[in-house]
Amino acid sequence: MLSQTGEGGGRSALALTRHVIKTEGVSGMFAGNATNLLRIFPSKGVVFASSDYYRKMLRFLAGVPEGTQAPGAVSFVAGGCAGVTATALTYPLDFVRGRIAGKGVAPGEEKKYSSTMQTIRVTIKEEGAGALFKGIRPTLIGSFPYLGIQFGTVGLLESLFPKEGDATNVYRKVMFGATGGVAAGCLTYPNDTVRRMLQLQGTPGYRNYGGYFECARTVLREEGIWRFYRGMGVNLVRMAPNTAVQFGAYELLKETLIKR
User: What's the whole-number mean pLDDT along residues 50-70?
Assistant: 84
User: What's the whole-number mean pLDDT along residues 128-135?
Assistant: 92
Q: Please give the pLDDT value at position 93.
A: 93
- 225 near 217, Cβ under 8 Å? no
Instruction: Give Cα 145 to chain centroid, integer Å.
Output: 12
- Number of structural domains found in the chain: 1
Q: Please give the pLDDT value at position 153.
A: 94
Structural domain containing residue 21: 2-259
- 95 near 197, Cβ under 8 Å? no
Q: What span, in angstroms and rounded, lies between the C-alpha atoms of 222 and 27?
A: 34
Q: What span, in angstroms and rounded, lies between the C-alpha atoms of 20 and 107?
A: 9
Q: Is the pLDDT of residue 259 over 70?
A: no
- Please provide the average confidence, as pLDDT, over all residues in the chain: 88
28 exposure class (CB count in 10 Å sphere: 0-12, 13-18, 19+): middle
pTM, rounded to two decimals = 0.84
Q: Please give the pLDDT value at position 78.
A: 94
CATH number at residue 180: 1.50.40.10
Q: Please give the pLDDT value at position 167.
A: 66
Q: What span, in angstroms and rounded, lies between the C-alpha atoms of 78 and 56?
A: 9
Q: Is the pLDDT of residue 105 over 60?
A: yes
State which amino acid sits at residue 126: E
Confidence of residue 260 (pLDDT cuts 50, 70, 90): low
pLDDT digits (tens, 9 = 90+) for 170-211: 899 999 999 999 999 999 999 999 999 988 887 877 888 888
pLDDT digits (tens, 9 = 90+) for 36-48: 999 998 999 999 9
Q: What span, in angstroms and rounded, lies between the C-alpha atoms of 159 and 156?
A: 5
